């Protein structure tokens, strides 16, 4: 498989602060790849380095085989980036904005593709509206359209659904999935981990400028088998012997009691019966109980905790 993005030992300093600490990873052509991490992990610095907006202190980045520093024109032509920030020119309509963006890449008579993008992002009715008259969600759709207007083989989406409605999310993901099926490489950063779990075949997790996990999404979830047992007691308090399994509690007290919701981590489903037996022995009466499977959010939290 050919490599769409090749990141080799990338370091980035801002004065004494080290935003990236030797990041190395590869994204294959045709992948739907997730880049996850808490705020300040270095995701945006890495994306701006890929886009050529930030120059790494050391290391190398290539997009479709083109070095982002030495062969920046070809690298940028191969890349479309949807930024977090709502950046737009208030003096043009949506269609004019997309035509001007096409011109940046030397593309003329691009209206057929522009019309297709507008239709797929539900922007046709706003094509002749001025950018400053659009809602925040509509402006974000235009940012997505600008990233796609030159048909780049690699598309980077930096928090594309932050603060937008459910309808836009569904419309956007349908279109992005179609582009991915057509061979486009997609790199996604998001704080909506359910989106990453559903969409991304492989995921890298960053923390403090370093890659702390890199694997297929299914393999990451399997690494932490088991699930969570969500309970609410009508009588009694959580026995001392079950406290090591406590993941979270809505109560301020150290040991959750009647009426309080709490969550226990279980490594295997065979653990459920011993937990229930311990509660019965302690005189607890269960009011509500729910068994939840491990998901990407659980995996993310545990990996971040392991790499403190």
Please list the residue range(s) of the chain that carry CATH number 3.40.50.300.
3-222
Average pLDDT of the residues in 71-95: 91
pLDDT on residue 252: 44
What's the alpha-carbon Rg for the chain, to the nearest Å?
Answer: 23
What is the spatial distance between Cα 112 and Cα 95, in angstroms, rounded to a whole number?
Answer: 12
Q: Is the pLDDT of residue 183 over 70?
A: yes
3-state helix vs strand vs coil in the chain, percent to 5: 35, 30, 30
Q: Strands (DSSP E) along the chain, which ranges?
A: 3-14, 17-28, 32-36, 58-63, 66-67, 79-82, 154-158, 185-189, 202-207, 210-216, 227-235, 246-249, 261-266, 285-293
Pick from 35-39, 146-150, 166-170, 171-175: least confident: 166-170
pLDDT tens-digit map of 214-253: 999 999 988 876 778 999 999 998 898 998 888 766 544 5
Q: Report the chain's mean pLDDT, rounded to a whole number.
A: 90
pLDDT on residue 87: 82
User: What angle is formed at CA 50 by the lines to CA 45 and CA 51, rounded to 5 degrees?
Assistant: 95
Please list the residue range(s) of the chain that carry CATH number 3.30.70.
225-306
Span 225-306: which CATH code? 3.30.70
Q: Is the pLDDT of residue 200 over 50?
A: yes
pLDDT tens-digit map of 65-79: 999 999 999 999 999
Residue closest to 292 by CA, chosen among 264, 253, 256, 260: 264
CB 299 within 8 A of CB 220: yes
pLDDT on residue 250: 52
pLDDT on residue 253: 53
Q: Is the pLDDT of residue 1 over 80?
A: no
Does domain 3-222 sit in CATH 3.90.1150.10?
A: no
CA dist list (Å): 288 to 192, 229, 233, 237: 27, 10, 7, 14
CB 159 within 8 A of CB 189: yes
Sort strands 154-158 and 17-28 into parallel, antiparallel or unpaired.
unpaired
What is the spatial distance between Cα 242 and Cα 168, in angstroms, rounded to a whole number?
Answer: 43
Residue closest to 263 by CA, chosen among 242, 280, 284: 242
b/e map of 267-282 (b: 16 or more CB within 10 Å)?
eeeebbeebeebbeeb
* Bridge partners, 105 (sequence order): none
pLDDT on residue 308: 72
Structural tokens at position 100: 């001007």
């Amino acid at each position: 498989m050919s490599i769409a993005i090749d990141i080799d030992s990338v370091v980035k300093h801002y004065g004494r602060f080290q935003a990236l600490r030797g990041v190395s990873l590869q994204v294959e052509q045709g992948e739907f790849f997730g880049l996850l991490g808490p705020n300040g992990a270095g995701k945006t610095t890495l994306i701006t380095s890929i886009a050529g907006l930030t120059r790494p202190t050391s290391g190398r980045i290539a997009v479709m085989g083109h070095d982002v520093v030495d062969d920046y024109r070809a690298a940028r032509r191969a890349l479309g980036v949807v930024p977090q920030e709502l950046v737009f020119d208030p003096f043009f309509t949506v269609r004019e904005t997309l035509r001007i963006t096409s011109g940046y890449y030397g593309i003329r008579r691009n209206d057929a593709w522009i019309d297709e993008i507008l239709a797929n992002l539900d922007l046709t009715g706003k094509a002749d509206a001025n950018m400053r008259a659009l809602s925040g969600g509509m402006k974000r759709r235009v940012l997505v359209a600008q990233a796609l207007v030159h048909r780049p083989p690699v598309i980077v989406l930096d928090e594309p659904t932050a603060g937008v409605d459910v309808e836009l999310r569904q419309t956007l993901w349908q279109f992005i999935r179609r582009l991915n099926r057509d061979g486009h490489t997609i790199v996604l950063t998001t704080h909506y981990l359910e989106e990453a779990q559903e969409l991304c075949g492989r995921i890298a997790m960053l923390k403090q400028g370093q890659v702390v996990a890199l694997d297929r999404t299914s393999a990451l979830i399997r690494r932490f088998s088991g699930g969570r047992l969500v309970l609410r007691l009508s009588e009694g308090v959580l026995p001392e012997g079950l406290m090591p399994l406590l993941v979270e509690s809505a109560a301020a007290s150290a040991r959750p009691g009647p009426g309080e919701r709490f969550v226990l981590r279980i490594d295997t489903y065979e653990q459920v019966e011993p937990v229930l037996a311990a509660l019965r022995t302690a005189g607890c009466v269960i009011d509500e109980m729910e068994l939840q499977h491990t998901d990407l959010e659980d995996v993310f939290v545990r990996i971040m905790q392991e790499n403190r």
